[in-house]
Chain A
Amino acid sequence: MRYIVSEALRNVRHGGVVSVLAILIVALTTILFGVLYLVRAAVHFELARMADRPVVVVFPEDRLSDDEVRAMATEIDGIPAIESTQVVSKAEALARSGELFGEHAAVLLEGFGRDNPLPRSIEVWAAAEGPEPGSLAALSQQLRALSGVESVTFEADSIRAIGRVKNTVMLLGALVIVISVVVISFSIMLTIYARRDELNILRLVGATYGFIRVPLLLQGCIEGLLGSAVGLGLLYGLFRNLGSLAGVQEFLEPVAAAAIVGGATLIGMAGGMMPMRRRLRAVT
């Protein structure tokens, strides 16, 4: 075992620029995955926050009576995509505004007592597990078509933005995983070519392919492990310096960090396995 580890470390050391490049690429993958994890946590937090709020708010025309507004709410409640509705009266809207202004509410809302300018509204909660921008836009169109509806608002923009960030980071992550596997396999391929005479001699003195292959696989794992350690270090540096600006309060949980390191090690191993059998047979 000691021999295998020392051979693998020797390969990494002698790998030179390509080994360093492989380690840096894995570090970049780790950073992207760390960011992806943090974005995912932020998205979940945001979606959970939005679950407490209505996804769509319908404003009925002023001319409708309170009974007509309640009838409209019942009608909306009957739409399959809707879980529930709540009618917010003018007085309730004013009271909520007061809550927003806190101790200054009394001063600011003093003049509104008799002539409340705030409209009535019907708050709508979607039945779907998580609101999607596309379905919300369709729902708002459907509600806008109802008679007596003045306007409809929904939180499409923020959901769209979160979705875009999530998709972009996932795409980048997948891309960098592929690049990592390719670069690590390239570094191991170069090791095989650089050491082809030595590997050939090992075969001639009775080494099995396994004896030759295992240190090379371990080389991939070590490059993955080192890369993920460097990546996590850099990610922590980013978090310490820019985390508060980006609104990220907590660094990766230990389990998530361990999963990223384990994943990077597996990426290294995959990179080691790719070129192995064919190249080894070719050079020995």
Chain B
Amino acid sequence: MTAPSRPAGTAPKVERVYEDTTVLRAIDERMYPPPEPKLPMIDASGVTIRYGRHEPVLDKANFTIHSGDFTFVLGASGSGKTSLLRLLFRDVLPTEGSVVVAGQSLRRLRGRGLAHFRRQVGFVFQDFKLLPGRTVYENIGMALRVTGCSRKQVRDRVEHILPRVGLTHRRNAYPAEISGGEQQRVAIARAMVGNPMILLADEPTGNLDPHLSVAILDLFEGFNLRGTTVVIATHDTATAVERGKRVLRIEDRKVREGVR
């Protein structure tokens, strides 16, 4: 490494530090630690999803998503994107194959174990699934209430996330009183307020105008930068390509890497 040229009048001590590459390397390593090897956060192997006697939605699909990844799942309408997300959320079980999420085999999850698993996975539903009789604040706080957080903890964390999704001024409004984009952000806030390891979002920009879509995806990227593994299902190839993130596409009931 070449030391920068010494400006006139600088102290010799500083010059020595600049010239000592060992010290510079130590500073570098502290500020920019080498990336840890990524661990698989989601590992699906030989997964088939079949509803009743119909044709399978996914057929012996294999894919892995690593911790801290930002992944788009692309596919046409009805291709099985929602089924795949529901699978990762343990809302459906694979007919065949195994899925391990955050080190837990989903097939074995039941009752309390399932509830605890879902607290580690935030899900932004396509239809938002907000509680109509609860305010924005209560809807977001519900994800914490179910974990047994105290009122103060709920207040602190909801108050912290409200400005991040730009909803501080709408905290006392009911879902019917806010726009679709705002409902979307409530759903995102609810999914993220518990600081989950994984964020799953089903067509989060499907019904939004382009400007709002960009804002919502920026929000997801922000969460991803803080370490959350993000998986977004969308049919919008352009958006996925523009963001330059990893893409998995569902095609012919298989999960394949990249955009075709």
Contact = CB atoms under 8 A, between A and B. Distances in A.
Contacts of B117: 206
Interface in B87-124: 89, 91, 111-112, 115-119, 123
A115 to B, nearest CB: 92
Contact of A202 (B112, B130, B142, B194): B142
Interface stretch (B27-35, B58-66, B143-151, B177-185): B143-151
A206 B131 contact: no
A197 B175 CA distance: 15
A208 B112 contact: yes
A206 B115 contact: yes
A198 B130 CA distance: 8
A interface residue count range (under 10 / 10 to 19 / 20 to 34 / 35 or more): 10 to 19
A202 B111 contact: no
A204 B112 contact: no
Interface residues of B, number: 23
Contact of B111 (A2, A197, A201, A209): A209
A108 B123 CA distance: 99
Contacts, number: 45
A42 B145 CA distance: 53
A201 B125 CA distance: 10
A211 interface: yes
A208 B111 contact: yes
A255 interface: no
A205 B91 contact: no
B160 interface: no
A31 B91 CA distance: 48
B111 A204 contact: no
A3 interface: yes
A41 interface: no
Interface in B120-140: 123, 125, 129-131, 133
B91 A204 contact: yes
B111 A3 contact: no
Contact of A204 (B129, B133, B147, B194): B129
B145 A204 contact: no
Contact of A205 (B112, B116, B146, B151): B146
Contacts of A197: 129
Most buried by B among A201, A206, A207, A210: A206
Nearest to A7: B145
B145 A201 contact: no
B190 interface: yes
Interface in A166-200: 197-198
Contacts of B123: 204
A242 B56 CA distance: 74
Contacts of B146: 202, 205-208, 211
Interface of B: 89, 91, 111-112, 115-119, 123, 125, 129-131, 133, 142-143, 145-147, 151, 190, 194
Interface of A: 2-3, 197-198, 201-211
The 9 closest A-B pairs by CB, nearest first: A206-B119, A207-B146, A206-B118, A208-B115, A205-B143, A201-B129, A206-B115, A206-B146, A208-B112
23 contacts: A197-B129, A202-B146, A203-B115, A203-B118, A204-B89, A204-B91, A204-B118, A204-B129, A205-B119, A205-B143, A205-B146, A205-B190, A206-B115, A206-B117, A206-B119, A206-B143, A206-B147, A207-B146, A208-B111, A208-B112, A209-B115, A211-B115, A211-B146
